[in-house]
Amino acid sequence: MIEAVIPLSFGDFPDDVQLCVLSFLRPSDLAAFACTCKRFEALHRHDQRLWFSLCHRRWGSKTLINKWGGGRISYKHLYRVLDEYDALIGFWRRFGDAPAPAAAPPPPLVFFEWGPFYITGSRVSPSKNMGYGVIKKPFLWMSIAPGGEMVNYLDPEGRAEVNAEDLAMAELGISESELIQVNVSFIGECHVVVEENLEVNVDPSSPNLRGEVSDDVYGSPPDRMKEIYQYLANKTSPSSRRQRRKEKEKQRQGRMRKWEPENFVKIVNCSPKPSRPLQGLWKGICDDMSLDFYLVSYDDVGGIACRKVGDFHRPLTYHGPIFWTPSLTFFDSPLSPEEDDLYNCRSHLRPADENQEIISTPDNGVVSHMLYINSSYDLVIPDLVGTTVNPRQVEGRIWQYRNGTFGFGFLRDDYIIDLKHIAINGHLLDTVEPNSGG
């Protein structure tokens, strides 16, 4: 007689196997699973091993999970914090006016990346006379204190040397004049505001810590009865209350605010995809041999636009595209003899190597695909609107290379601008020290 085989339930598996399986779930799925059994419900609520496994599964390759908060916080709480921080990773662009205390407007491009147990925000800009070097200047550090609260510190001048251990322990040995504690707040998914935490950055010895206006501002009560009546009337009138509120606000801003709020919008599609191989942020040498950043995007009408990111705070819509094409049809190699000649007769704008010899071909510079640029006059050369010009003035080509990068050029020019990645897999490439890049 054959005995029936009783299948194993999930609870029959060893604990380490259960933790491994559950670590693949999202918190919402884990909460639904916890409703099936009291044991799993308690596991979901309190088990440090489970939440460490979830954190390690998602971010273990990017940061040191057991170092956040000095290793003394709940991993369930840590998961919620890291999930919020994860939305910051990547490129953002400042919009609006630059912060007032800055001597010169900082670069508009900001890059957030994982550290060992903190998030770093760095201002990113093209270097000068350093080839493809990118200047990376950290200015914002975000971590968790041992008590579980989020701590964010901003260095306006980018000069402070932050010790990572001190940051994790929220015991920064840096004077208040160098670092400012700030709040980093999301407004939607793609808009972040960095503003000073006025509840922290105040002088404890200040007599008006909460911005209250003392009676001395309006003078001491007078001695004569008539003037006393007038004094009390002024204190209780609506106009006087409005005046006091204005004075309070002025005093808060004048005494305590060290940093004006900055607004950033996320550059969502900053990396190429198989279906959009040209998309993303790129860097290339311009016709004046300076390095610049380019943003290539696929628009809603099926075209491809390329703009310089630039060093100014106006929205990208103010910057005319370098090129725009409605065509997404790539032509595979080998190209026709005419197209081969168009490519081969042009020089590549690239930095000089160590021997000061201009590199004539890009890395792995074998063309795999080609795309036509058919930009309109008003987009590329606004001054030519309404004139009769040679179509070669606005026609061009995009040449995609086998290594995934590409170059572009116009028929009116005799050169090709080759574009390279700014970052790959969350890491900036070719970074140089701020002082070495000018």
Q: What sections of 5-163 are H helices per DSSP?
A: 15-22, 27-34, 38-46, 48-59, 75-86
Confidence label for 280 from pLDDT (cuts 50, 70 and 90): very high
**pLDDT score of 426 more than 80:** yes
d(CA 266, CA 190): 5
Confidence label for 202 from pLDDT (cuts 50, 70 and 90): very low
215 vs 119: which has the higher pLDDT: 119
Structure tokens at 55: 């954190």
Distance of CA 395 to the CA centre of its chain: 34
Are the C-beta atoms of residues 69 and 87 closer than 8 Å to each other? Answer: no
d(CA 119, CA 209): 31
Per DSSP bridges, beta strands 119-126 and 291-298 are unpaired
* Residue 325 three-state SS: strand
Instruction: Write the single-letter amino acid at 196.
Output: E
Least confident of 81-90, 222-231, 234-243, 342-351: 222-231
pLDDT per residue over 37-83, tens digit each?
Answer: 777 766 666 678 888 888 999 999 999 999 998 878 889 899 999 99
Mean pLDDT confidence for 220-241: 53
The helix, strand and coil proportions of the chain, stated in percent and rounded to the nearest 5, come to 30, 25, 45
d(CA 118, CA 209): 31
% of the chain beyond a pLDDT of 90: 33
Are the C-beta atoms of residues 260 and 99 closer than 8 Å to each other? Answer: yes
d(CA 126, CA 438): 9
Q: Work out whether the CA dihedral 102, 104, 284, 351 comes out positive or negative.
A: negative
Name residue 352's beta-bridge partners. Answer: 358
Per DSSP bridges, beta strands 331-332 and 427-428 are unpaired
Distance of CA 422 to the CA centre of its chain: 13
204 vs 20: which has the higher pLDDT: 20
pLDDT per residue over 110-158, tens digit each?
Answer: 999 999 999 999 999 999 888 899 999 999 999 998 888 888 998 877 6
Confidence label for 184 from pLDDT (cuts 50, 70 and 90): very high
d(CA 272, CA 425): 11
Query: CB within 8 A of 102, min separation 6: which ones?
Result: 156
Phi-psi region of 391 (alpha: psi -120 to 50; beta: other; left: phi over 0): alpha
d(CA 60, CA 77): 16
Nearest partner of 213 among 251, 253, 258, judged by Cα: 251
